């Protein structure tokens, strides 16, 4: 039997490859972006309580009302945007599902979607599957800022969506208010929509505000804004996220969502509703929690031969390894696992066409002991 693949460029993800290598070589895994510690005890207790009280059947397609109401309240409190919990908030099975559903809802065959490289690896396959075309615009090195003139120049009559990500994975760069203003200017008077990947919204450092598309009234009217409970509450394996979008966009989004997963893990929804209502301090304290880890990890890496790039948000540290090797980044990451016992991710995996740069990504969403063990090994290089 011959099967014509719909995703000829897709193989095993680099995250799986590097994690498997890490297991084979008993390496400290700073590759895949997940914490090696648990979320709040109150959240786990709330999950158990929900399961033990019989909340184990299908949840409503859009998400349980108490959770959507808490999301709406948090959105207004943080970003000044009043959203309708019934019509504009949809709970999803992780942010990846939300991104796929948003793309599938509005991108038609032949449509163009502008993505900013380096970008997360789920964007382009979703665009390909619905017959769209990803138009890759590289971010400007070394600060991974957006060259908005290049974005503007890339807009054509076929442009349907511009995808943005702040705080940015893998670089940790964050948008300014001026970035939002410029994006609004580019889309003004057009039919272009925005998908704003904001899964690290609560991990922004140095007292910088998170510049959500929801803060910008003009952008909010044309945006799907995607968030992740897994990132905020250290429970990526629960796969719970949500999407906020205007009523008309949410209606189309839900048409896809209802036939993609229909609904999301019910007991977890009750647990998140509980902690949002009773422990908002968790997400308010998250910037300081991760800034401590960022600063500690950078301190540990300071004596090494790696050049540390700035990090303003998310939980990744990019490093330039030029002083250590002339290998390409994939080759260096493979060597690093085998010879140093530390797993990282090559940044070229996030590009269509990678620049001539020797940069890899470490994840610092790890315990202090894990970070110290990795740094001790890296210091020997």
* pLDDT tens, residue by residue, 32-54: 899 999 999 999 999 999 999 99
Q: Quick one: pLDDT band at residue 13, thresholds 50, 70, 90?
A: confident
Q: Quick one: pLDDT band at residue 365, thresholds 50, 70, 90?
A: very high
206 Cβ contact partners less than 8 Å away, ≥ 6 residues apart? 291, 312
**Nearest to residue 217, comparing CAs of 274, 177, 190, 249?**
177
Fold of 14-39+282-378: 3.90.1150
Gyration radius from the chain CA atoms: 20
Residue 17 in this model has a pLDDT that exceeds 90: no
Residue 100 in this model has a pLDDT that exceeds 90: yes
Cα distances from 54 to residues 50, 93, 171, 267, 268, in angstroms, run 7, 20, 43, 9, 12
Residue 22: the pLDDT is: 87
Q: Quick one: pLDDT band at residue 348, thresholds 50, 70, 90?
A: very high
170-224 pLDDT, tens per residue?
999 999 999 999 999 999 999 999 999 999 999 999 999 999 999 999 999 999 9
pLDDT (average), residues 343-356: 95
Residue 338 in this model has a pLDDT that exceeds 90: yes
- Spatial contact of 43 and 271, defined as CB atoms under 8 Å apart: yes
Spatial separation of the C-alpha atoms in residues 22 and 317, rounded to whole Å: 18
Residue 11 in this model has a pLDDT that exceeds 90: no
128 Cβ contact partners less than 8 Å away, ≥ 6 residues apart? 6, 7, 9, 134
Give me the half-sphere count of Cα atoms (radius 13 Å) on the Cβ side of residue 1: 2
227-281 pLDDT, tens per residue?
999 999 999 999 999 999 999 999 999 999 999 999 999 999 999 999 999 999 9
Residue 164: the pLDDT is: 98
CATH classification code of 41-279: 3.40.640.10
pLDDT (average), residues 340-358: 95
Query: How many other CB atoms are there within 10 angstroms of residue 24's CB atom?
Result: 10
pLDDT (average), residues 348-364: 95
108-144 pLDDT, tens per residue?
999 999 999 999 999 999 999 999 999 999 999 999 9
Spatial separation of the C-alpha atoms in residues 279 and 288, rounded to whole Å: 16
Residue 15 in this model has a pLDDT that exceeds 90: no
Burial 36-53 (b: 16+ CB within 10 A, else e): eeebeeebeebbeebeee
Residue 172: the pLDDT is: 97
Is-same-fold flag (14-39+282-378; 41-279)? no
* Segments making up each domain of the chain, as ranges: 14-39+282-378, 41-279
Residue 18: the pLDDT is: 87
pLDDT (average), residues 27-35: 93
Q: Quick one: pLDDT band at residue 81, thresholds 50, 70, 90?
A: very high
Spatial separation of the C-alpha atoms in residues 70 and 74, rounded to whole Å: 6
Residue 296: the pLDDT is: 98
Tokens of residue 295, six digits: 């600063």
Average pLDDT over the chain, rounded to an integer? 97
């Amino acid at each position: 039997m011959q099967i014509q693949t719909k995703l000829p460029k897709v193989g095993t993800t680099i995250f799986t490859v590097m994690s498997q290598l890490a297991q084979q070589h008993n390496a400290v895994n700073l590759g895949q972006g997940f914490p090696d510690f648990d979320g709040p005890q109150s959240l786990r207790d709330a999950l158990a309580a929900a399961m033990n009280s019989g909340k184990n059947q299908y949840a409503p397609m859009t998400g349980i009302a108490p959770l959507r109401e808490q999301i709406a309240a948090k959105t207004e409190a943080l970003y000044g945007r009043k959203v309708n919990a019934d019509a504009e908030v949809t709970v999803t099975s992780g942010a990846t599902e939300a991104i796929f559903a948003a793309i599938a809802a509005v991108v038609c065959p032949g449509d163009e979607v502008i993505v900013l490289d380096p970008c997360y690896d789920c964007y382009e396959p979703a665009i390909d599957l619905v017959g769209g075309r990803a138009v890759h615009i590289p971010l400007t090195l070394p600060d991974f800022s957006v060259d908005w003139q290049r974005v503007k120049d890339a807009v054509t009559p076929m442009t349907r969506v511009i995808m943005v990500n702040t705080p940015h994975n893998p670089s940790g760069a964050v948008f300014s208010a001026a970035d939002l203003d410029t994006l609004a200017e580019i889309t003004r008077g057009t039919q272009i929509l925005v998908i704003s990947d904001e899964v690290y919204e609560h991990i922004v450092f140095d007292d910088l505000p998170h510049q959500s598309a929801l803060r910008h009234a003009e952008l909010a009217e044309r945006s799907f804004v995607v968030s992740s409970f897994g990132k905020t509450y250290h429970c990526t394996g629960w796969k719970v996220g949500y999407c906020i979008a205007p009523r008309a966009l949410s209606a189309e989004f839900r048409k896809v969502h209802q036939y993609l997963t229909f609904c999301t893990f019910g007991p977890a929804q009750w647990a998140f509703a509980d902690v949002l209502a009773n422990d908002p301090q968790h997400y308010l304290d998250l910037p300081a929690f991760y800034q401590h880890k960022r600063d500690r990890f950078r301190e540990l890496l300071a004596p090494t031969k790696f050049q540390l790039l700035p990090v303003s948000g998310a939980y990744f540290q990019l490093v330039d390894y030029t002083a250590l090797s002339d290998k390409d980044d994939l080759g260096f990451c493979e060597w690093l696992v085998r010879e140093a016992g530390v797993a990282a991710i090559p940044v070229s995996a996030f590009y269509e066409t990678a620049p001539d740069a020797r940069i890899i990504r470490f994840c610092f969403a790890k315990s202090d002991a894990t970070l110290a063990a990795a740094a001790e090994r890296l210091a020997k290089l």
